[in-house]
Amino acid sequence: MVNPAHPRASADGSTVPPDAGDGATFADPAESFAVAALEAMPGLVAVVDMDADAPLDQWTVAWMNPAGLAMSGYDRADLTQGRVSDWMGLDAAAPARRALAERRPFTQHTTVRRRDGFLYPAEVSMTPLGPVGDGGVRWLLTARDMSEDVETTAGALARAGADQRARLGLSLVARVSDILADTASNAPLGDIAALLMRRVVGWAAFYVDGPTLHEVDDLGGEPQRTRDLRRIAQLSPDVEDPVRDLLLDSRMRTIDIDTAVDPEPGTVTAELIALVRAAHDGADVIATVLPVLGRQRVLGLLAVTHREADPWAEGARDDDRNPDALAGDVTTVLELVARRVGMAMDNSYLYDREHRLAETLQRAMLPEQAEISGLDVWTYYSPNAEHAQVGGDWYDVLQSAGQTVGLVIGDVVGHDVEAAASMGQLRSVVRAYSAEFGDPGTVLERVDRLIAGMRIPRSASLVYAALTPLGDGAWDIAYSRAGHLPPLLVRGGDVRSLDGAGGALIGFGNRPRQTAHERAEPGDVLVFYTDGLVERRNRTMRDGVEALTRVCAAIDTPDAAGVGEELLLRLAEAPEDDVAVVIVRVPDPVGDEPRSWVSPRQRRWQMPVDPQTISRSRHALLRACQAWGIEDTAAAELVVSELVANAVMHGWGRVDLRLEDTGDGLRIEVEDGNPAPPVTRERHSGRVGGFGLHIIDRLADWGWRPTPGGKAVWARLRPQHSGRVRPTS
């Protein structure tokens, strides 16, 4: 039987519309199989007719399979009265129009509209079946729902995008780690903020809290003065301060700060808003703030503003901004960056604390040298920068009873706090026995016995010398050595090694110690040193001592500081160990008369923060000016006194005094441990102090600069105050 809804074949083999009547039979058994197959097709299958005189987008549906009816939502009666283009979405003005006109197959991706208005993507194909009617063409139309394919493709694209975002985020975090590990970078946090602005955000900056909130570019050391925010929060529990609360929290979370909203005055939030506004030229923005977490507390803040475009999208502009919240994956990257920076800052703070502890311990154990009557004494100590800024090298200058002066220099094995602690114990023992016994050999014997009982874990070497005036300007040198390098006695161009009275390291002496004697004449120089001055990886200890001997033989300067400066310039340019040096020069009233001394044109001294340092600095200045032929020193004495007095009153740690003869003036520099800049007070007759910088300003050009350990204030005397009088030779 012929189904009236099915097409049948004509006598010439072409397909014709189905008959309306029932009871007909198929002309060919194959037709029954083909129609049954079309009926069973899962996608939309339809036979459409296009009249010769009708527009190309007006077609008549002759037949459609059940799956197609279900996909379209129409029934056969509706379809035979409508136009295919109304629901099929074919673009008859595009390449499909040409294919229809040329009666050739084509395929097009389009959007199909169901009867209920639902749209879904589909792949539509049309194949001409042959002529029909008066000049018309019959077409086979198939359509496949591509919703699942689109969803699958969209999911794959989303996963690919997520993978790309993850790779970009990991590469950025890896780059941040590289910046933090780069020891040559002077501003790692500034570099990281610039990296974030190039890659993910519109603007970024790091802030830490001290006396106030301030921006930082480097990891730096832990702030010495910080506010007690927890105490402030307890005193003002009703004050809303979200940035302060973020600093007091120990969780990773983010907050958004709208700079257009006026905060509570005097809060940390108000400080941050002022900083963000200043960074954006006063414009109001919304900033996202993240904590920079250390191991146990928040060390700082990372503030960013947002981009308008997707920061991961290719071609996203760097200057786009967005007031909305950051995307989740960008926030994750920022959290990872903040954590990395926090760990790096925590490690830096930990190292800084250990450094300050070790150096404070070391400096506390070094002597606060006073002026020694009848001798010119210069001392110097520099820890190896590759270690914890502390070691076992030490020296001491002992003003014993009577006129005897004790000199000690030693070296405890190691470069750590334990070495410094052992050095402190040894120094105390030597001081105690030197006050009781005058003979150096006896002192070392008693030190041996006591150290063996104390079980100090580190071995040590030292030289102890006792200098006693002989009454004719000369001095008797009694000394004993415990495994230490022999000191040098320099007389004119002759250098002698005081290698007598040698013995084992301290604690290993099981036999009596010896004492050797030498005579130091006026003008003679004694050089005590540790191995850090002469030992290098590229030369033996013997070669280093020979180099020191050659340098000492060529020295021509009338002050101990000049001798020490010459040694440091020639031998300590790149020390690989701690360096301790003690220079003792016997003044020569005749030989030290003004003449053209060949000596370095700079000097340095290390002094304690003590009122006596002011007087000692003036004496040091006078000796340097004598060596350089500067006779009128009144202005220079005033300047150095004021600079050192300010360092003693307002600084801490150690005072470093440096002088340099520049040829057209005298440059004075004083460094202390206080990083705060010098402040010029307004002059007032009722105020005590505050006039020092005004005095300096009248006599010199001055300024200051930050240093790794604090600050340095410098002054260069103007030519009219340089006091230079060239002596005749």
Higher local confidence (pLDDT), 236 or 386:
236
- Shared domain for 374 and 480, answered yes or no, is yes
Let me know whether 203 and 292 are in one domain. yes
129 and 169 share a domain? no
| CATH code where residue 76 lies | 3.30.450.20
53 or 290, greater pLDDT: 290
pLDDT digits (tens, 9 = 90+) for 196-222: 888 888 899 999 888 888 888 888 766
User: Which strands sit side by side in the sheet containing 213-215, from one edge to the other?
Assistant: 213-215, 203-209, 298-305, 286-293, 255-258
Cβ-in-10-Å burial (0-12, 13-18, 19+) of 413 comes to middle
Question: Is 462 within the bounds of a domain?
Answer: yes
Contact by Cβ (8 Å): 207, 215: yes
**Domain total of the chain:** 4
Claim: this prediction has a pTM higher than 0.75: no
| DSSP per position, 415-451 | SSHHHHHHHHHHHHHHHHHHHH---HHHHHHHHHHHH
**Three-state secondary structure call for residue 599:** coil
Are 433 and 350 in the same domain?
no
608-664 tens-digit pLDDT: 888 888 888 998 898 888 888 888 888 999 999 999 998 888 887 788 999 998 877
CB neighbours (10 Å) of residue 265? 7
pLDDT tens for 670-724 read 998 888 888 776 554 444 445 677 888 888 889 999 887 788 999 998 766 555 5
pLDDT for the residue numbered 23: 36
Co-location of 607 and 672 in the same domain = yes
Tell me the per-residue pLDDT of 471-519, one tens digit each, with 9 for 90 and over: 888 999 999 999 999 999 999 889 999 999 999 888 786 788 999 999 9
CA 186 to centroid of chain Cα atoms? 7
Looking at residue 373, what DSSP letter applies?
A: T
- The answer to whether residue 360 is domain-embedded is no
* Same domain flag for 450 and 399: yes
Does residue 30 sit within a domain? Answer: no
Domain carrying residue 165: 160-354
Indicate the residue among 546, 573, 594 that finishes a domain.
Answer: 594
- E-strand spans in 6-105? 8-9, 15-16, 44-50, 60-64
Whole-number Å distance between alpha carbons of 553 and 496: 10
C-beta of residue 301 within 8 angstroms of C-beta of residue 206: yes
CA separation for the pair 21, 6 (Å, rounded)? 11
More confident site: 88 or 295:
295
Cβ proximity of 655 and 648 under 8 Å: yes
From 594, 624, 646, the end of a domain falls on: 594
Task: Residue 659: give its domain's CATH number.
Answer: 3.30.565.10
CA count, 13 A, side-chain hemisphere, 348: 18
| 363 domain-assigned | no
Average per-residue pLDDT for the chain:
79
Q: What pLDDT score was predicted for residue 725?
A: 45
Q: Cα–Cα distance between 381 and 579 in angstroms, integer? A: 6
List the 106-113 sheet strands across, edge first.
60-64, 44-50, 136-145, 119-132, 106-113
Task: Give per-residue pLDDT as tens, 115-124.
Answer: 777 888 888 8
Domain assignment present for 150: no
CATH code at position 423: 3.60.40.10
Last residue of a domain, one of 309, 325, 354: 354
Q: Give the residue, 223 or 330, on which the prediction is more confident.
A: 330
Look at residue 299 and tell me if it is in a domain: yes
Which residues does residue 464 pair with via DSSP β-bridges, in sequence order? 408, 480
